Chain A
C-alpha cells in the first residue's frame, strides 16, 4: 500500500541573521493511510516544522517528501495548493476562522474553493456541523462561539473536502482540559471514520489517543513509543 506521506532525510534550515538554524535534521518518516500519529516534544524541537512539511506548506532544505507517491518538490505551487485543498485538512492552535463569516460559511468556504455545487455544499456543511455537534450554532460568528466551539468549527472546515490526511498543530493549546478532551474525542471519531491524523501536541491526554506516538528532540525524530 502506498504511504499517504513519506519523508526521506528531511532537513529544514532557517537562515537567521545570527546564523542558520536547523529545525529538522535528516528526518525519515512514513505514514500509512488512516493512521493516527501524535508527535510530542519540547518547544522548538521541530514538531510544527515537520507538520508544515507534511502538509505541503513548506519545503525541505534537503531530502524529499512524497505525498501519496508524488514528489512534492516536483510539483508547482498551484499543484501543492490543490493537494492541500483536496487531500489535506489543517487544524490550527488559534483556529484562524474568518471572523466576518459565520460557522456555516467558514465550513462552506473550502468546498466553494473546490468548486462544489450549492446543493452539495449545503448537504456537506449541514452534515459536518452536525458531526461536530454545532448544528444549532451554524449562524453564529466566531466571536459568538467559545474556544472549544471555534475549534470544532475549524475541524469541520478541515474535513470539508474529505481529506485523506488531517494535520493538527496544538489543537488543544488554547483550550481548557475538559474542552481539550472533547476535541480529542472528536479526533477519535474522525480517525475511526478512516481519516489519517497527525497531531502535534503538548497535551499527554491527546497524545495517548493516537495509535502511534513519535517524540522529537532537537530536530530529530525519536523511536516510536
Chain B
C-alpha cells in the first residue's frame, strides 16, 4: 500500500475530521483567492479599460496624472502632436460640469463632454437614435448624446429638448441656459456612478460655456502607429512639446499602482497573510491532534520496521489531500464571493462601470494553489516531526499502560 493510499484511507476513516478540515480550508482558501484577485484586480481592470479605448498615450498639462490643470491651446498642441511620425490619431477631451434643467424635473448635475470630431466611436456606443452629426447646420439647438442612465432618470429620448446651464467655477449663476436636443442615447466607456454624462460638439460645448474659457482641454488622447511602442511616442511628444506631459498607459497604470491602488494591495497582502496563517493553523492543529491520537499505532509501525520516510510521506499526503481538496473547492467558492464583493465595492461613487476590483486571471489561480500547497506542506512539518521522532519504546509503554 502506498503512502498516498494510506493517507486516503486514514482521512476516509475519519470523515467528520476530514470534512471539517476540507470545509475550513475551502472557506479560508476562498478568502485567499479573493485577496489575490483584489491585489491585482483594479490594476488589470484599469489597464484593460485604458487599452480598450484605443489610445496608448495621454497628454496633460502637469506632471501628475490625472492632472488638475487645464491644458491650454489644446487645438494647437493636438495639431502639433498629430504631425509626429509616431502618431496615428489625436483626440482632444474636454469636460465641464453642467446642470440639466428639464421642466417638471429637479435640476440634475451632468458631466458635459466633448471629444474631437471623429473620436466619438471610441468614447461611446450609440444604443438608440443617432450620433452628434445628426442635426444639420441649420438647426438652432445643440446636439447631445446622453447616457442611458440620464435618459432613464429624466425620461428623455431622441428628439427631447434639453435645457442646460454650464457651471463655471465662481460664475455658475452668470452663465446662460443653452437649448440642447437629444439626438442619441449611448453607453459611455468611462461612465461611473458620479454625474450623468452628456456629450456634445465643440461648438455647442463652447456655446454652453459662453466663452468663459478659451481653447482648453482636460487631456489629449494619442494613438501610436501600430508598429510604434507607446514609450517612443511619449519620448517624441516630450521632444516636440516641453509645455505638456505625456504618459503611456503603462506609466499611468504604474502611477495608480504606486498611489491610488496601493491601499488595496496592502490590504490584500495583509489579509492574504492572515488567511494563510489561519489555513496553516487549522491544518497543523488537525494533523497534530490526529497524530497524537494514534501515537501508539505510529510507534507500533516503527517497531515493525516501517521507515520514518514512510510515516512522514503518509502525513504529508494526508495534509496534501485535505488542503488540495479544500483548495480546489475554494476556487468556485472564492469566485462567487468575489462577485458579491465586487458588486458592493462598485456601488461606491465615481467608480466607472468598466472598472472591477476582483478580476480573475489564470496565474492567480495557480498562485493560490501554490500558496495553499506550500501552507499544507508547512502545516505537516510539526506533526511529521512528532511522528517520526517519537521514542518508540517509551511510546509503546505509555500507550499500553494508558
Contacts and interface: CB of A to CB of B under 8 A. Distances in A.
Contact of A57 (B9, B297, B302, B306): B302
Contacts of A77: 308
Given A81-B302, A112-B1, A113-B310, A94 B393 contact: no
Interface string B326-365: 0000000000000000000000000000000000000000
Contacts of A48: 393, 396-397, 400
B297 A81 contact: no
B49 interface: no
Given A88-B305, A94-B296, A96-B300, A109 B396 contact: no
B392 A57 contact: yes
A113 B305 contact: yes
Interface in A112-129: 112-114
A157 B297 contact: no
B304 interface: yes
B304 A110 contact: yes
Contact of A84 (B2, B303, B391): B303
Contacts of B400: 48, 92-94, 169-170
Contacts of B399: 94, 96
Interface stretch (A67-75, A97-105, A189-197, A207-215): A97-105
A167 B9 CA distance: 28
Contact of B305 (A84, A108, A170): A84
A101 B9 contact: yes
Contacts of A177: none
A53 B307 CA distance: 18
Interface string A43-83: 00000110010010110000000000000000001100111
Contacts of A161: 305
Contact of A52 (B12, B297, B306, B393): B393
Contacts of A170: 400
Contacts of A83: 305
B16 interface: no
Contacts of B297: 96, 98-99
A53 to B, nearest CB: 8
B10 interface: yes
Contact of A96 (B1, B296, B305): B296
A225 B18 CA distance: 53
Contacts of A84: 302-305
B13 interface: yes
A143 to B, nearest CB: 10
A157 B1 CA distance: 14
Contact of A90 (B10, B304, B307): B304
Contact of B393 (A49, A86, A89, A113): A49
A7 B310 CA distance: 30
Interface in A121-153: none
Query: Most chain-A Cβ atoms within 10 A of its Cβ — which of B9, B391, B396, B397?
Result: B396
Given A58-B392, A81-B308, A169-B400, A90 B303 contact: yes
Interface residues of A, number: 37
A221 interface: no
Interface string A13-51: 000000000000000000000000000000000001100
A93 B300 CA distance: 11
A113 B9 CA distance: 17
Contacts of A112: 1-2
Interface string B373-390: 000000000000000000
A78 B309 CA distance: 10
Nearest to B14: A100
A165 interface: no
B383 to A, nearest CB: 17
A158 B306 CA distance: 12
Interface in B33-63: none
Contacts of B394: 58
A27 B70 CA distance: 99
A85 B308 contact: no
A222 to B, nearest CB: 22
Contact of A82 (B10, B301, B305): B305
Contacts of B13: 99-100
Contact of B303 (A55, A108, A114): A55
Nearest to A89: B304
Nearest to A86: B305
A27 to B, nearest CB: 15
Contacts of B393: 48-49, 52, 57-58
A100 B10 contact: yes
A100 B397 contact: no
A193 to B, nearest CB: 19
Contacts of B392: 52, 57-58
Given A81-B305, A81-B307, A81-B308, A92 B10 contact: no
B238 to A, nearest CB: 69
B296 A110 contact: no
A72 to B, nearest CB: 13
A136 B147 CA distance: 80
Given A85-B306, A90-B303, 14 more contacts: A48-B393, A52-B393, A55-B303, A57-B392, A57-B393, A78-B308, A82-B305, A85-B307, A92-B400, A108-B1, A109-B1, A109-B306, A110-B305, A113-B310
Give the 10 A-B CB pairs with smallest separation, nearest first: A85-B305, A96-B300, A100-B13, A58-B393, A84-B305, A52-B393, A57-B392, A100-B9, A90-B303, A57-B393
Interface of B: 1-2, 9-10, 12-13, 296-297, 299-308, 310, 391-394, 396-397, 399-400
12 contacts: A55-B303, A58-B391, A77-B308, A78-B308, A81-B305, A81-B306, A81-B307, A84-B302, A89-B304, A105-B1, A109-B1, A169-B400
